Amino acid sequence: MDPDNIHEVAFIRTFISKNKQKRLLALLQNKKGRKKLRLLLAHNVDINTKFAYFSKEEENNEEAIYKLLKKFGSPDICYTICENSKLDSLKMNLKEILHELLAQDFGYIISCIPGKLAYYQGESPLNRVVLNNQSSNV
Is the model's pLDDT at 14 over the cut of 70? yes
Is the model's pLDDT at 55 over the cut of 60? yes
Q: What percent of the chain has pLDDT over 90?
A: 63
Q: Look at the pTM and tell me if it is higher than 0.85.
A: yes
Which neighbouring-strand residues pair with 92? 78
Is the model's pLDDT at 97 over the cut of 90? yes
